[in-house]
């Protein structure tokens, strides 16, 4: 069983996983605490593995831009045109937090997009915030899903923007695809929050795994499906992956999913959890399969 955390900052914290396969190794990007001089600023750590079970931390992404000074986190990663593209959020600015982009050829040193931040939420249905990015290629364009909040800043929900596959992904290339939330909390277990979209394409559809409820409430994982990448229908009214039973490592939550499709087409759901209401955070994974175009945990 995979169970990874970052112990290098004086606490056990690894959240918001994003995994890719690049140059014969797996790389995982994740949120961790205490990146900047050990002061507690949120940042993005980097770990590598050969088997997706045992992981070794190999570095942190330095905070280099003025908009990053309060922190960065919640990465999404994609290999495109021989480069690693990272989409991540600023932290600590609440309704002004937004999505940024950077790219790398070694997985450790990243060059920032000169137009950062590239995405903020638009429209009077939200407060402008854009966090928790995830991307997928669908119908010859890049779709980027983000979480935002209602104008009062209480309800977390999802939006989506699109961009041509030019490899630059600059601010002026993005177009928001929705005039309202594409998925907002409606079910009892989702409470007041849907966030952390994690997407994959299969059967000419977009499968969107998401976190329902705020952290440790408990947060659990659901699934919705779309034929066009914009209009989604939940596959079930029950959580796809629930928080653990009392005494388990993820008793407090199973949250913030990330979908990774390996080169052999096997599908893995990475997620975060803890059993102490957020004093520590660990990352794990389960393998998925499909039956009649419906995902299930193997």
Strand pairing report for 83-90 and 72-80: antiparallel
Q: Which residue has the tokens 């899903």?
A: 145
Mean pLDDT value across the chain: 97
pLDDT of residue 34: 77
Residue ranges of the chain with pLDDT lower than 50? none
pLDDT in tens, 130-159: 999 999 999 999 999 999 999 999 999 999
Q: What's residue 1's pLDDT?
A: 94
Three-class secondary structure of residue 84 per DSSP: strand
Length of the chain equals 298
DSSP state of 81: T
The DSSP result for 9-77, as a single string, is: TSS---EEEEEEEETTEEEEEEEEE-TTTTS--EEEEEEEESSSSS-EEEEE----SGGGTTBEEEEEE
Distance CA 291, CA 35 (A): 42
CATH annotation of 15-297: 2.115.10.20
Please report the pLDDT score of residue 10 as a whole number.
Answer: 84
Q: Are 151 and 127 in contact (CB under 8 A)?
A: yes
273 neighbors 254 (Cβ within 8 angstroms): yes
| Contact (CB, 8 A) for 165 and 173 | no
First to last CA, the chain: 14
> Burial of 51 by CB count in 10 Å (0-12 exposed, 13-18 middle, 19+ buried)?
exposed
Q: CA 170, CA 25: separation in Å to the nearest integer?
A: 28
């Amino acid at each position: 069983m995979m169970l990874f955390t970052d112990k290098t900052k004086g606490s056990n914290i690894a959240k918001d996983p994003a995994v890719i396969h690049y140059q014969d190794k797996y790389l995982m990007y994740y949120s961790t605490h205490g990146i900047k001089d050990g002061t507690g600023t949120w940042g993005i750590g980097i770990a590598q593995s050969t088997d997706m079970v045992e992981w070794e931390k190999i570095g942190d992404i330095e905070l280099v831009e003025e908009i990053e000074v309060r922190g960065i986190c919640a990465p999404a990663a994609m290999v495109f045109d021989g480069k690693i593209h990272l989409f991540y959020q600023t932290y600590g600015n609440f309704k002004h937090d937004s999505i940024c982009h950077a790219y790398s050829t070694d997985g450790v040193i990243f060059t920032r997009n000169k137009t950062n931040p590239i995405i903020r939420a638009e429209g009077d249905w939200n407060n402008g915030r854009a966090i928790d990015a995830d991307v997928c290629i669908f119908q010859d364009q890049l779709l980027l899903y983000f979480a935002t909040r209602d104008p009062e800043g209480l309800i977390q929900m999802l939006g989506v923007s699109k961009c041509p596959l030019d490899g630059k992904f600059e601010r002026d290339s993005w177009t928001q695809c929705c005039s309202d939330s594409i998925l907002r909390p409606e079910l009892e277990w989702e409470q007041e929050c849907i966030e952390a979209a994690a997407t994959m394409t299969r059967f000419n559809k977009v499968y969107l795994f998401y976190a329902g409820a705020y952290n440790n409430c408990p947060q659990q994982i659901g699934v919705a499906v779309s034929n066009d990448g914009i209009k989604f229908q939940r596959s079930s009214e029950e959580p796809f992956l629930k928080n653990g039973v009392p005494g388990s490592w993820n008793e407090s939550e199973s949250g913030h999913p990330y979908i990774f499709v390996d080169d052999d087409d096997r599908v893995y759901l990475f997620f975060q959890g803890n059993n102490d209401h957020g004093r520590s955070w660990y990352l794990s994974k389960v393998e998925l399969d499909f039956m009649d175009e419906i995902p299930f945990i193997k």
